[in-house]
Structure 1
């Protein structure tokens, strides 16, 4: 996909504050420090549209972006960072769950995992919610450049085993080399191609 425009719309924490839009949406979700912001910036060919930070847990709201006036991209709050205040942690689960359950124009979620990490309880919880609400899922394994090629297959097999997803479900990505960018866009475009009034998910 060629990116002609990508603009921030607004941040929101509650359903009532979501932007009113009929555009289809694709959301991005994953643990803090999983490389979510870097993935979005590479996909959109922007350096800092989505802020990256050396301090995990900085994204604490749902952030909505308009892409090409064609669809909305939603950056969901990262989860799992130990140093985030407990009050904030307690808000994240209901915030994400409500969005997944109630946002009728949500077409897919890009579910992001670090190739060096074994999926944890919160990752599995998110997958359970995606299955419960019937949200199409695009699993992406990031930070390929952090492991050598001989380790890739081994690590991806571990992630597949822990998540219960088939190996062929995963797209592999590196923000440094941009490997995987085109494949991820193809999968997003496939999800958007299904968007339409007759294809809306049930609330």
Structure 2
């Protein structure tokens, strides 16, 4: 199966709204706490080894990084969060910048929240999902590093997260297990993202929310 995200290439990095590309087309944003596996997930979805830099220093992403798949079709890597090794003023700047991006960006069509399957649904994850739901955007949770657990543990974690997400957000947030290492769930997540970008037909919700890990 061909990969509709394979043409993704670095476009630009934005530290403030004035540096954002023109607000048109389709964008899918990726959020995740530091060390949740966001860069590895982006690389796996695009089929690249180093599209998004995988750093041994968590929280390295400090800007909105745009990867262009096609003209007007972008993946957007949001700043990681969780290791408070930056000044409070910079953290406040990121917060205001991302808040404005979610409130005003017309090109934004969906949000992927990357969570370590062993430590899901932390405060930051809920905050980012809340941004999407308030805006009426679809969201999809990737429970990454699934290869670290056995299949039974994966299934239990998936069911627990699905129940909590449904209780909080109804059916507006999808969820699946994922591993950039073993490529588990990559095709499923890629179909969701490509659908939001208008590059391919998204998986039907019954498949997207499959009970199989």
Using the size of structure 2 for normalisation, the TM-score is 0.82
C-alpha distance in structure 1 between counterparts of 2:4 and 2:130, whole Å: 33
Contact conserved, 1:5 with 1:69, CA < 8 A, in 2? no
Q: How does 1:159-174 map to 2 (within 5 A)?
A: 159-163=161-165, 164=168, 169-174=174-179
Q: How does 1:78-117 map to 2 (within 5 A)?
A: 78-117=80-119
Q: 1:110 to 1:173 in 2, by over 3 A?
A: same
Q: 1:87 to 1:157 in 2, by over 3 A?
A: farther
Give ranges in structure 1 of 5+ residues lacking alignment: 195-203
Equivalent position of 1:124 in the other structure: 126
Contact conserved, 1:79 with 1:92, CA < 8 A, in 2? no
| Secondary structure of 1:152 counterpart | helix
Equivalent position of 2:210 in the other structure: none
| Secondary structure of 2:28 counterpart | strand
**How far apart are 1:16 and its partner, in Å?**
1.6
C-alpha distance in structure 2 between counterparts of 1:87 and 1:122, whole Å: 18
Q: 1:193 to 1:9 in 2, by over 3 A?
A: closer
C-alpha distance in structure 2 between counterparts of 1:118 and 1:28, whole Å: 15
C-alpha distance in structure 2 between counterparts of 1:85 and 1:162, whole Å: 33
Q: 1:161 to 1:89 in 2, by over 3 A?
A: farther
Question: Which residue, out of 187, 190, 193, partners 1:185?
Answer: 190
Q: 1:165 to 1:155 in 2, by over 3 A?
A: farther
Question: Are residues 1:34 and 2:36 paired?
Answer: yes
Q: 1:108 to 1:74 in 2, by over 3 A?
A: same
Equivalent position of 1:63 in the other structure: 65
Root mean square deviation, CA, Å: 2.3
Using the size of structure 1 for normalisation, the TM-score is 0.86
Contact conserved, 2:39 with 2:53, CA < 8 A, in 1? yes
Q: 1:186 to 1:120 in 2, by over 3 A?
A: same
Give ranges in structure 2 of 5+ residues lacking alignment: 200-213
The alignment of Structure 1 onto Structure 2 pairs a total of residues equal to: 195
